[in-house]
Amino acid sequence: MRKQYCYNCQREHTIKEVKEFREYTIKGTKVSGEITILRCENCVEEIYNKENEINNDRILFDDYKRKNNLMTSEEIKTMRENYGLSQAVLAKLLGFGEKTITRYENGAIQDKTHDLLMRLATVETNFLQLWETNRNNFSSYENKKIKKAITLSDETITND
């Protein structure tokens, strides 16, 4: 049993974690998903929880991204991890602000231009070109790391 302060009851109560199906409209797109909510067992009010909030946002915003042909947070993260890069290094490689990839992986909606760049970067030959254009902006340590990532994922190149 988990207890937490309920602002509605103004005292600590046992809280219950429940899954709820929700539908919202984000920028004109109907999105839905099963999200996790904490409720006070006494008054049944929703209790704010930052971690749940971030995860719930990601679920709903990923639905928005799917429905608008944008890469989902998960897809962006997978691409980055395939190259073994930190969020900051990938952001730098793509010419984004330092925190931009972090925000996208947390659910923030990317604009079309950023989306296209990230999509292109998922193809290793494009990634290589981005890196070559940009490599002067990286420290020798970062360049070593990127080079290693490319060498490691060589087998992912397909011949079609």
Q: Which residues bind Zn ion (CB under 5 A)?
A: 6, 8-9, 40, 42-43
Whose CA is closest to 34, among 55, 14, 7? 55
Answer yes or no: are the C-beta atoms of 108 and 118 closer than 8 Å: no
Answer yes or no: are the C-beta atoms of 83 and 149 closer than 8 Å: yes
What is the token pair recorded at 73? 């947070």
Q: Which is nearer to Zn ion, 42 or 49 (CB)?
A: 42
Q: Supply the minimum distance, in Å, between the C-beta of residue 118 and Zn ion.
A: 43
Q: Which is nearer to Zn ion, 6 or 149 (CB)?
A: 6
The count of C-alpha atoms lying within 13 angstroms of the C-alpha of 102, restricted to the half-sphere facing its C-beta, is 8
Q: Which is nearer to Zn ion, 47 or 85 (CB)?
A: 47
Q: Supply the minimum distance, in Å, between the C-beta of residue 3 and Zn ion.
A: 11
Q: Supply the minimum distance, in Å, between the C-beta of residue 4 and Zn ion.
A: 9
Q: Supply the minimum distance, in Å, between the C-beta of residue 20 and Zn ion.
A: 17
Q: Supply the minimum distance, in Å, between the C-beta of residue 11 and Zn ion.
A: 8
Chain length of the chain: 160
3-state SS, one letter per residue, for 45-70: CEECCHHHHHHHHHHHHHHHHHHCCC
Q: Which is nearer to Zn ion, 9 or 116 (CB)?
A: 9
Q: Which is nearer to Zn ion, 10 or 159 (CB)?
A: 10
What is 77-99 written as a DSSP string?
HHHHHHTT--HHHHHHHHT--TT
